[in-house]
Amino acid sequence: MTSFYKEHQKIFLSVDCIIFGFEENKLKVLIGKRKMDPGRGEWSLYGGFVRNDESLDEAADRTLYELTGLRNVYMRQVGAFGSINRDPGERVVSVAYYALINVTDYNDKLQAEHQVEWVDVNDIPTMFSDHNDMIRRARKLMQQKIKTEPISFQLLPSLFTLTQLQRLYEAVNGEEVDKRNFRKRIKEMEFIERTDLIDKQLSKRGASLYRFNKKMFEKDATFKL
């Protein structure tokens, strides 16, 4: 292969995943203790190096798959983090991605194996390198996104109650919302359809289960929360 750019320097490139999940009415992030020097033992996002034969998006997908066994997960790029000394070992530029997963899809065996934990996003410890910044930015981007795109369903089981959906919005935005106003807006969205199924786990009376109808959304195509 010819080398067009040989006078320039190459740099290590990694990806880091901010994996969001919704559990116990809280927005959580999957983090673990770093298993590599330097920084071994510090709280850290799960990440990996980018290979020459994969795109950044592919590297992020692969990394997420290694950790969770999940494919076709909703992932979006947060941005590139490139301070000179962000990694104490060597110069490494990292591209952060956030992922939204349904916690019940997540294989417990893999979780135990990688020793990662779900931590409340409001209660993140001090982390390795610039990982706290990455989480902050990912959260902000996700908050913006959830206002204009129906991504909340990525964090829920395919059948969910309106209370679950409301608690999810509250956890993401960090503030409570009025139940009646919330439900009013949801009812206007035809792509959030009520099933005849009833969930009795949380209440004696039972709550209707709803589902997100993707095809209907794509026709309808307005969303605003």
Q: Which residues bind its own copies (CB under 8 A)?
A: 1-5, 8-13, 36-38, 49-57, 59, 77, 79-84, 89-93, 95, 144
Q: Which does 197 bind (CB under 5 to 8 A by kind): its own copies, DNA, none?
A: none
Q: Which does 92 bind (CB under 5 to 8 A by kind): its own copies, DNA, none?
A: its own copies
User: Min. distance of Cβ 4 from its own copies in angstroms?
Assistant: 4
User: Min. distance of Cβ 101 from its own copies in angstroms?
Assistant: 22
Tell me: does residue 144 bind DNA (CB under 7 A). Answer: no
Nearest-angstrom CA–CA distance, 82 and 129: 11
Tell me: does residue 204 bind DNA (CB under 7 A). Answer: yes
Tell me: does residue 196 bind DNA (CB under 7 A). Answer: no
Nearest-angstrom CA–CA distance, 225 and 216: 17
Q: Which is nearer to its own copies, 5 or 125 (CB)?
A: 5
User: Min. distance of Cβ 11 from its own copies in angstroms?
Assistant: 5
Residue type, 70: L
Tell me: does residue 207 bind DNA (CB under 7 A). Answer: yes
Q: H/E element holding 103? A: none
Q: Which does 122 bind (CB under 5 to 8 A by kind): DNA, its own copies, none?
A: none
Q: Which is nearer to DNA, 154 or 161 (CB)?
A: 161
User: Torsions phi, psi of 146, nearest 5?
Assistant: -65, -20
Cα distances from 129 to residues 25, 97, 126, 158, 175, in angstroms, run 29, 16, 9, 36, 29
Q: H/E element holding 47? A: strand 46-49
User: Torsions phi, psi of 211, nearest 5?
Assistant: -140, 155
Nearest-angstrom CA–CA distance, 63 and 55: 12
